[in-house]
Structure 1
Amino acid sequence: MSSIRSTDLADHDLAALQEARDLLGHARQAAAMLAGWTPEEAKRVAKQVAAALLPRAAFYAEWAVRESRIGKVADKIAKNQLACTLTPSAWDNVALGGVRRNDALRLVEIGRPAGVVVGLSNSTSPVATIIFKTIMCLMTRNALVISPHPVALGCCSEVVRELQAAIVQAGGPAHTLQILTRPTVEATSALMRDPRTDVILATGGTPMVRAAYSSGNPAIGVGSGNVPIYVDANADLEAAAPLIVTAKNFDHGSPCSAPSVLMLHASIAPQMQQALARQGAHICTEQEALQIQQYAFPGGKFNGKVVGRPAHEIAQAAGVQVPTDCEALVCPVTSPHAGHVLLREKLSPILACVVVDDVKQAIGVAQWMLQHSGAGHTSGIHSASPEQAVYWGAALDYYRVVVNGSTVHDSTGANTGLPYTFTIGTGYAGKSSVDGNVGPELLVNWKRVAFPLPGGWAGAMTTVAAPPSSTTVPLTNLTPELQAMVLRIVQEELEHLR
């Protein structure tokens, strides 16, 4: 029997590798056809396809939760709807191809699509991620091959089939979008390494993102989150508490931008915990926190069974009694230190809580968090002081700092000037090629035809209006110690850049 099973596995692996090769062959043909579209035609098709999938948001949300057992149906509906409505319209005024002219520099720029994109889909937002990447590729005239996460293979395969039909109905090539139906590690690696792949959009776990970067093909990768949130002594606690609890409970804590560790200034810690409890969070005793920790990290290793599960289900499994409508499990960490498991990413409604004396100590805790994961991703701060927020941002290697808001929603552009996205770049700190929110503009390169320019680029820079090289931020309302620390951090950054 064992030899038969080994033979079956070998046949499956060979079939998966052959499928990967076939998909890329078809994708190259589709990419050649898509390159002949005008940018206007590409955006028209993208909008038509997105509109066709919008009525199916609830259907696929329910399927994704049922199949993967990750997240909350209502929140996945919202994500699917957002992917269908905002993605095709957010870049209406952005050139994603065609020809553009820069008279000041005497340049003519011609947009070139990437060609064939390999997209990795994650387990926490499988359908929304596929819709987002499909619409981005349609707008930029690229063919897309999806390698789905195996835990959501069924819903991913079906939404791709429906998207394929919508693309053909809108006038697109039949193989504009395809999916690897046997998503083995070897087949996904083959997709990424193949010379017919032009760029990889890597969303998922750190090992797969690292594999994308080592594939030999260009990759746009993201990193894992591990979000610290500091609540300052002067914060509006009644405003902060619902934002934090709602963000932590959204999709049962599975987004990588969900709060992970809450740091409370000692002077407001009791009041803030009471405010969190009023919003439906359960403030654990030290014993309850230990039980939840042991369930979530047995033997110090992360238990994947907590990912995207309801708070009451996790608590029950850990032997802790909470109401069925519990929104979050706030676990006090009385002796934080580097390597403490509750300072790691938890992808669940488990929220570690540390009481600190000041912002300097909070920064120290966040630096311990960075030793494990989250570099370049997202952090949050609740404070009445803009200077304190800038100081927090300058001191830590998080590339999105959400001030007095929801890290889940505002890191992706809901109530901030950050660009809308489903894919967050973590920059050099997170070993990523991009530090910003990933959008379709990254899937287009520009050829530049340069005409003679008197004085060259340097000469043009003396006459073309340019923004000031720096802006002085007043350091009012800071103690002398904090002023000195901010200035020191800024000076270190400048020295590093030099």
Structure 2
Amino acid sequence: MTLDRDLQSIQEVRNLVRQAKEAQQKLASYSQQQIDRLVEHIANACAAQAEPLAKMAVEETGFGVWQDKVLKNLLGSTMTWESCRNLKTVGIIREDKERGLMEIGVPMGVVAALIPSTNPTSTTMYKAIISIKAGNSVVVSPHPNAKKCILETVRIITEAIREAGGPENLVQCIQLTTMDATNALLTHRDVGIILATGGEAMVRAAYSSGNPAIGVGPGNGPAYIERSADIPTAVRQIFDSKTFDNGTICASEQSIVTERCIEDQVVAEVKRQGGYFLTPQQSEKLSGFILRANGTMNPKIVGKSAKVIADMAGIDIPERTRVLVSRQTEVSKQNPYSREKLCPILAFYVEENWEAACERSMAILFNEGVGHTMTIHSQNEEVIRQFALQKPVSRLLVNTPAALGGVGATTNLQPALTLGCGSVGGSATSDNVGPMNLLNIRRVAYGRRELAELRGTAPAPQAASCGASGCGQTAGNFTRAEIEEITRAVLRRLSAGQ
């Protein structure tokens, strides 16, 4: 008798969540020291296999550059661990005896971790580390096109947990990958929180599941080169970012926006560093390969080099080309150059001044990628400040490669492979997601004021005289004037720190 694959996958998920819940309950008895020892062991084991896992990911998915994925794996393992090594997540995490307040870290339970095909091994490492650091267990839902390398990463993690004496089934992975399995995981009542990294449809499914979720939207970050910028450095950083792993990090630049007064210098530097400006005819030809008929990004171009993409489109380009660049004047959903392109393709916009460049950048972001990331290359602190005040992004990166700056490799942001987009981007957080996003905080508050103190100078209320029938009023009822006076008294005491 052959059982239905979808039904089997649903049952597998139910078993995995049950086992994960049991494992998390065992982990709940661990001290901070035990948790940290376990997480460090996982990070070291993952780092030791960074290169073979990187090669496996490229071989299986066809995305990116294995040498760059090695660095991603180190970001997802040792860099993530080092960033949260000294973080208190277990037991009493903060205490203020003077104010009579205490905060206790409480794990969320089972983390449902959705893993994308663009960064499969590194994201698996990262989500396991931040989840366990916060006292949770993990059930991984792998992208079907990267299942082999994700399963191998989970195997390495589980072996490290076993060697460290950690609970069995602390990190598990779905093996029968079906849409029904993913849906069963997202909607399972014992899932504490969902970490959704992937396509927009998957993120929306996570938010509509009925369980708490942290998801990220698409990136479409412009890079603004302002007139005071060090132009050679700015172009180098943009190209280093856009070609890193062939552009598969969602924080990577998708457009260059610059000013008319420095246009010639920027164009010359782009060409000198390996950028190829497509002719209008070539831009039109390539545009048909960027988006599919349904308006979504064509997976065939994701993580491919400029040469491979040009060959696919039947376009001749110089041998040394690193990035394909298309001059644009329009921003719209129908214009693929003004949307996210997870490969070495950049749109190129020229504006009259920084104010116009600011408006263009906002148009690009509201077209797609609002709430995510953008970059500015400038030495003018006032312009940088104005961009920071106005741009609808969660990360404004200054004079750094966006792909690496956004994930915390070349900046002091929290190292992360899940980048929140804030409410404007439909996300529950604007953080680079870390362990503190994966625990609840129980607050203990000692009494510091009595009711009589709160009443201050307000007259003691009197019981109302309502006649023989009565009216239900008691000494606990206040007039509006009395309530206002009590409120003012409380605010005076709070402002005085009492």
Instruction: Confirm whether residue 203 of structure 1 aligns to residue 236 of structure 2.
Output: no
What is residue 142 of structure 1 aligned with on the other side? Answer: 136
What is residue 462 of structure 1 aligned with on the other side? Answer: 495
In 1: Cα distance, 2:318 partner to 2:168 partner:
50
Q: 2:23 aligns with which of 17, 20, 30?
A: 30
Matching residue's letter, 1:118: A
In 2: Cα distance, 1:295 partner to 1:215 partner:
33
Q: How does 1:297-316 map to 2 (within 5 A)?
A: 297=291, 301=295, 302-316=297-311
Aligned-pair CA distance for 1:461: 5.4
Q: Structure 1 pair 460/279, CA: closer, same or farther in 2 (3 Å)?
A: farther
What is residue 67 of structure 2 aligned with on the other side? Answer: 74
Aligned-pair CA distance for 1:460: 7.5
What is residue 354 of structure 1 aligned with on the other side? Answer: 349
Instruction: Confirm whether residue 344 of structure 1 aligns to residue 339 of structure 2.
Output: yes
In 2: Cα distance, 1:461 partner to 1:239 partner:
51
Q: 2:171 aligns with which of 161, 174, 177?
A: 177
Instruction: Confirm whether residue 425 of structure 1 aligns to residue 453 of structure 2.
Output: no
What is residue 375 of structure 1 aligned with on the other side? Answer: 370
Q: 1:50 aligns with which of 23, 38, 43?
A: 43
Matching residue's letter, 1:432: S
Q: Deviations over 1:434-468 (max 9, x none)?
A: 01110011112121121112489967853569xxx
Please, which moves more after superposition, 387-396 or 246-255?
387-396
Q: Structure 1 pair 369/110, CA: closer, same or farther in 2 (3 Å)?
A: same
Aligned-pair CA distance for 1:371: 3.5
Q: How does 1:245-284 map to 2 (within 5 A)?
A: 245-284=239-278
In 2: Cα distance, 1:109 partner to 1:460 partner:
23
What is residue 147 of structure 2 aligned with on the other side? Answer: 153
What is residue 167 of structure 1 aligned with on the other side? Answer: 161
What is residue 106 of structure 1 aligned with on the other side? Answer: 100
In 2: Cα distance, 1:300 partner to 1:173 partner:
45
User: TM-score, structure 2 length as denominator?
Assistant: 0.88
Secondary structure in 2 aligned to 1:305? Answer: coil
Matching residue's letter, 2:112: V
Please, which moves more after superposition, 147-156 or 282-291?
282-291
In 1: Cα distance, 2:332 partner to 2:109 partner:
47
Aligned-pair CA distance for 1:335: 4.5
Q: Is the 8 A contact 1:104 1:464 kept in 2?
A: no
Q: Is the 8 A contact 1:53 1:163 kept in 2?
A: yes
Q: Deviations over 1:222-263 (max 9, x none)?
A: 111101111112221011010011111111011101100111
Aligned-pair CA distance for 1:186: 1.5
In 2: Cα distance, 1:324 partner to 1:183 partner:
40
The alignment's C-alpha RMSD in Å is 2.0
Q: 2:279 aligns with which of 265, 276, 285?
A: 285
Q: Is the 8 A contact 1:337 1:365 kept in 2?
A: no
Q: Is the 8 A contact 1:105 1:460 kept in 2?
A: no
Q: Deviations over 1:201-235 (max 9, x none)?
A: 11111111111111111111111110111111222
Secondary structure in 2 aligned to 1:368? Answer: helix
In 2: Cα distance, 1:458 partner to 1:224 partner:
44
What is residue 86 of structure 2 aligned with on the other side? Answer: 93
Q: Structure 1 pair 363/53, CA: closer, same or farther in 2 (3 Å)?
A: same
Q: Is the 8 A contact 2:142 2:177 kept in 1?
A: yes
What is residue 450 of structure 1 aligned with on the other side? Answer: 445
In 1: Cα distance, 2:108 partner to 2:333 partner:
42
Secondary structure in 2 aligned to 1:267? Answer: helix
Matching residue's letter, 1:383: S
Aligned-pair CA distance for 1:336: 4.6
Matching residue's letter, 1:448: R
Q: Which runs of 5+ in 2 are unaligned?
A: 455-489
Q: How does 1:402-421 map to 2 (within 5 A)?
A: 402-421=397-416
Please, which moves more after superposition, 340-349 or 295-304?
295-304
Matching residue's letter, 2:232: E
Aligned-pair CA distance for 1:168: 0.9
Matching residue's letter, 1:113: P
What is residue 400 of structure 1 aligned with on the other side? Answer: 395
In 2: Cα distance, 1:235 partner to 1:340 partner:
28
What is residue 230 of structure 1 aligned with on the other side? Answer: 224
In 1: Cα distance, 2:443 partner to 2:329 partner:
58
Aligned-pair CA distance for 1:391: 1.3
Q: Structure 1 pair 50/104, CA: closer, same or farther in 2 (3 Å)?
A: same
In 1: Cα distance, 2:333 partner to 2:25 partner:
52
What fraction of aligned residue pairs are identical, expressed as a percent? 36
Q: Looking at CA atoms only, which structure, 1 or 2, has the larger radius of gyration?
A: 2
Q: Structure 1 pair 203/460, CA: closer, same or farther in 2 (3 Å)?
A: farther
Aligned-pair CA distance for 1:92: 2.4
Matching residue's letter, 1:172: G
